[in-house]
Structure 1
C-alpha cells in the first residue's frame, strides 16, 4: 500500500441513500469488501420514494430483506390505487386505478409483489442488513476529491463531525451521489433529455381530522386538482401523519421562504376541501422533477448509479427502482471481475444494458405524469407522445438488447409489446414454483451468487458439462436438473422447457442477477465446448 494511503478497499461507494445502501447490501452478499460514505449524519427522515415495484422486491427477496421491508411498510399495506379529486369532500372524485394488481395476475410472473415502503422506513432496513453483511458504512463522511487513474481511484474523505481526513485507494468507485452528482460533473459526462419538468415543496404535517375526512379511502396518493390549491396528498400512517406536495414555481420568482407554515396550512385545507381542518406543519423539503439521462454510465473505473445516472418524473416511482436495479446489475459484475472470474470488459456491459433501460423508463415516467395530470406538471409538446404500455411491462418486462447476453436481436425493443417473460436472452428469467429437497421455492430464488444452468432432469449431459467448465474456468456455476423427480420439480406438472422457450434436450443459462444470458433449444454434440465458449464470451475472458 502506498504510504500516503490510509485505507485500501476494492469498492468505494459514494452516497448512502437508497441506491448506495442497496449497492452495499448486494456487494456484501457477494462477499465484496467495500466502503460506503454518506455526507449526511443519518438515513433519510423524510417520507418519500415509497413505491417499490415488483422487480425491486424480487431482488430484495433474494438479498434476504423482503420480510423486514414488508414489516417496516406494514402501516401502508392496505393502501392501493391513485385517486384524483377536485377535493376530498366533493363529488368530483375518480380512481385512476384502484388496485396495483387487480385479480392477482402478477402471481403468474413473480413470487412477490409491489410494496409501499417510504424511504425513511426502507433505508434503516438496508443499512442494518448491509452492515450485517460486512459493509463498512460511514455517515457524516464526505468525499472531498477523487483522482481516477488506470488502476483505480484515490479519494480524500472528510469526517464532518471530527474534521479528520482519510485517503482511500479503491479499485473501483460507484457514484450514487444524487442528481447534482459532483462525480459525474468531474468526469465531464453530459446528460440528455427534456430537463426540468416541475418543482414541488414536500410538506409534512400532522392532522387528526383528515382521517375522518377520508373515511375508508386508502390510497397511495391522491392528486387534488383545485386550481387554487392543487397538489398531491400522501398518507404516512393513515391516522395523523401526512405529506402534501405543493407546486413551486421558482421560474416566476417564488422562493422557499414564500412557503410559510400559514400558507401551507391554508393550501392544504383548500385542496382537501375542509376549511376547518386541523393542520400542524412539521417540515418542508424542496424537490425537483426532471427527465435527464447521463450520456454514459462509466468512465474508466468510476461508475454512475441511481440519480447520478438518471432523473425521472416521480409518477410511477420509476426513478428509485431503476437506481436500485442499476446497483444490482453492477454488483455481480464487480464481484466477478474482482474474483478474477471475468475480464474488465464485463464492466462495460453495465452501461450497455442499463442506459437504454433508463432512457425508455424515463420517457415512460414523463408520459405517466401527463396521463395522471400530475399537479404542477405542464408537459412541453415534445413530451408524452411515446408509447404508453402497462406499468408492469416497463417495471418487469424490459430486456437487455446488448451487453452480457447472447442471442438477442440488436434491434429488439427495450420494452416490448406485452409481457413476454418466456426465457428470451436479455429478459428476466421466468418464475416457476418448484420443489427442491422438499422446500417450495421460486426458480428466481436460485439466482444471486452464481451463474445457473437449467437442463432437463432426465439428461445429465449439460450438468456434467457445467461441472467441468466451472472447474476449468474457475467460475461459480451451479447446474440443476429440472422436471419430474429431478433436483427441481415444478409444481402442478408445469413444463419448464416450454416456460423457458427451449426444447426438452436444450438448456438455459441464467446470470446472477436473474436475467437469461443464453439458451439453446437443443442438445450439443460437445456440450462442454459449447458452454465453455458461451461463458468465455459472456465473461470477456480473452
Structure 2
C-alpha cells in the first residue's frame, strides 16, 4: 500500500468535483481527485448552465470550451407547453402557450446588462468531459477515475497532526492507497464522506419518484425548435403527459438525442420493448424508430446538509443540497459552492488567511442552498398548479370533461379567446422559474468574509425576475464594460483567476494606490488597484457610463472585491486613513479578526 500526501483531497468527479479541481489548480493548490466511476456521466442529467456559472467558467478559462458544443439562448430561450408532439386528432400538436426564458427573446437585454457572458445549455454527459480534460491538463496525475473511497478518518486537533486520512481503492485492480490530506472536499452526492462523518441531511428525502428515458431518434419532422423544455399536456389521457428536452449534440430540429420525463405506471423500466412502446405512445408516433440508451428512475428530494463543514471536510454540490430540478439550481449551485470554497482553501493553505476564513464557507453558502431549495420546491409545486389553472383543469373537472376543456380552450370564439388571454396571465407567473435572473445572479452573503456597511440590500422582485446590481458588501460585483489601451473588458475581468483582491476606485482615488501597496505588504496578499473614470487619474475608461451609475461611491471611494468576484468591503468616499481602513477590512475578510 502506497501513501500520498496532498493538501486537498476531492472525493467525487462529477460537475462540482471537477470544477473544484479546476479552481484549485487555478489558485496553485496541489490536490488529488478520486472518482469511483471509470468515466464521466453516461446520462444527460442537468443541462442548464446559468449566467453566474458561465461567468465563473469565464473567469477560469473554461467558458469558450463549454460554449463551443453548447446551445445558446437563441436556441433554447423559450419554454413551451403543447398538447402532444404530433398525432391525427384535431387537438394533437397544438401549442398551448410559450414564453421567453433563461436569457432568450426579450430577456436577452437584461441578461447582457447583468454579465459579460450568457447562459448555455449543455447536458452533463457533454459538460463533464470538458471539465475533466481541463482538470487533468491543469493537475497532471492528480485526477483518478476508477478509484473509490473505502474509509475516511479525521485527525482532530491543531498543528501538524490535524488532517484527513483516507483509504482509496482502484476499482479494477483492488490496489489501495492511503491519502493524507489537510482538507477533503466531499463532491460525492452524499454517498460516502457525509455519512462517514455523521452529517445528516435535513428536509424531505422522497418527495416523489420520476422517470427519464434517454434515447436517440429523428424527430425533425415534428419538433418545434427553440425551447429549453417542451411540456406535453395530453388532452385525452393525463397519464401520457410528459416533458421532452433536446440533449444534442446537434441543437434544434436535427437534434439526435433526447431526454423524456414520462410516466411508466405499470411498466417495468427494465423491459425495453415496453418502455419503447410507452415512448411512442407518449409522442404519438407508433412507428417511430428510436434507440433507447437508458431509463433512470430517481427520487426527487428536498434536503440540505445540517452543516457544510465538519472539521476539515467540506460538502459541495449534491453532497450539501438536493432539490427538485425546477429553475436548474442544482448543478449550478454546486459549481458555485466549489468556487466559493476554492479561493478560501488557497488563502489558508498559503498562510495568507486564518483558519476562520474556512468557517465562512458554510456561513455564506448554506443560506444560499437553503434559499435555492425552497425556491425550487415552490417553483415545482407552482408549475402543475399553473398548467391546471391556465387550461381550466383541476380536481373539480371530471375525466370525461378533459377533452372538451381543450376544445373550448382552442375554439375560435370569444370564450376561447378569453380562456387563452386568462391563461397567458396565469402562465406569466411561471417567470419565477424560467426568468429568475435575480435568483441565479443576485444572491448575496450577508455574513462571512465580508465587512457589512449597514446599508440595506436592493429591493428584490417577489418572483426573482429582476436583478438589481449593487456594490453593497456580500453582493456580486456589478458588471460594466471598461476599456484600456483599446481593449474592452468587463469589471469582472479585472479580478483575474488568482487569489488576489481587486480594489476599484475612481479618477480621484490616487490615495488608494499607496494604501493597497501598504496593506498588501503587511498582510502578504496581492491587491490590484483599478481606477475607472475619466481624466488623467483613471487607468480604465468607463466605456458606457454604466460603472459610474452602479458603483455607489464617489470618485475618491473604493470597492474591495474578493477573488470570487463578490464585494468584500467598500468606502463610499475618501477615507482619512485609507491604508488603515483597507488593512482593517482585509484583516477581517481573511479571518484574522472577527468583524
- Please say whether Structure 1 and Structure 2 have the same fold, judged by a TM-score greater than 0.5: yes
User: Offset at 1:316?
Assistant: 1.7
SS in 2 for 1:220: strand
State the partner residue of 1:234.
Answer: 245
Matches within 5 A, 1:201-350: 201-208=211-218, 210-214=219-223, 216-226=224-234, 227-237=238-248, 238-247=254-263, 257-350=268-361
- Cα distance, 1:127–1:160 mapped onto 2, change above 3 Å: same
Task: State which of 120, 131, 134 in structure 2 corresponds to 1:129.
Answer: 134
CA separation in 1, counterparts of 2:370 and 2:282? 34
SS in 2 for 1:372: helix
Identify which range, 419-428 or 59-68, moves more after superposition.
419-428
User: Offset at 1:408?
Assistant: 5.6
- Cα distance, 1:147–1:194 mapped onto 2, change above 3 Å: same
Contact 2:559 / 2:567 at 8 angstroms: preserved in 1? yes
Contact 1:426 / 1:515 at 8 angstroms: preserved in 2? yes
User: Offset at 1:50?
Assistant: 0.7
CA separation in 2, counterparts of 1:410 and 1:319? 30
Instruction: Kindly indicate whether residue 451 of structure 2 is the aligned counterpart of residue 400 of structure 1.
Output: no
State the partner residue of 2:154.
Answer: 148
Q: Deviations over 1:146-165 (max 9, x none)?
A: 10123110000001111110
Contact 1:54 / 1:113 at 8 angstroms: preserved in 2? yes
User: Offset at 1:239?
Assistant: 3.4
State the partner residue of 2:19.
Answer: 22
CA separation in 2, counterparts of 1:376 and 1:261? 31
CA root-mean-square deviation: 2.6
State the partner residue of 1:465.
Answer: 515
CA separation in 2, counterparts of 1:191 and 1:312? 12
Instruction: Kindly indicate whether residue 494 of structure 2 is the aligned counterpart of residue 456 of structure 1.
Output: no
TM-score (norm 2): 0.83
SS in 2 for 1:434: strand
CA separation in 2, counterparts of 1:387 and 1:130? 36
CA separation in 1, counterparts of 2:275 and 2:471? 51
State the partner residue of 1:529.
Answer: 580
Instruction: Kindly indicate whether residue 62 of structure 2 is the aligned counterpart of residue 62 of structure 1.
Output: no
Contact 2:494 / 2:530 at 8 angstroms: preserved in 1? no
- Cα distance, 1:122–1:537 mapped onto 2, change above 3 Å: same
User: Offset at 1:280?
Assistant: 2.8
SS in 1 for 2:326: coil
Identify which range, 343-352 or 467-476, moves more after superposition.
467-476
User: Offset at 1:495?
Assistant: 5.6
User: Offset at 1:196?
Assistant: 1.9
Structure 2 unmatched runs, 5+: 87-91, 157-161, 249-253, 389-428
SS in 1 for 2:274: helix
Structure with max Cα Rg: 2
SS in 1 for 2:468: coil
State the partner residue of 1:427.
Answer: 475
Instruction: Kindly indicate whether residue 92 of structure 2 is the aligned counterpart of residue 93 of structure 1.
Output: no
TM-score (norm 1): 0.91
Report the count of equivalent residues: 523
Q: Deviations over 1:430-462 (max 9, x none)?
A: 001011333111011122321100111333101
CA separation in 2, counterparts of 1:509 and 1:398? 18
User: Offset at 1:471?
Assistant: 1.0
- Cα distance, 1:412–1:523 mapped onto 2, change above 3 Å: closer
Task: State which of 522, 530, 540 in structure 2 corresponds to 1:488.
Answer: 540
Contact 1:200 / 1:248 at 8 angstroms: preserved in 2? no
Identify which range, 338-347 or 497-506, moves more after superposition.
497-506
CA separation in 2, counterparts of 1:491 and 1:316? 33
Structure 1 unmatched runs, 5+: 378-384
User: Offset at 1:474?
Assistant: 0.5
- Cα distance, 1:415–1:325 mapped onto 2, change above 3 Å: farther
Matches within 5 A, 1:369-448: 369-373=380-384, 388=432, 390-407=435-452, 418-447=466-495, 448=497
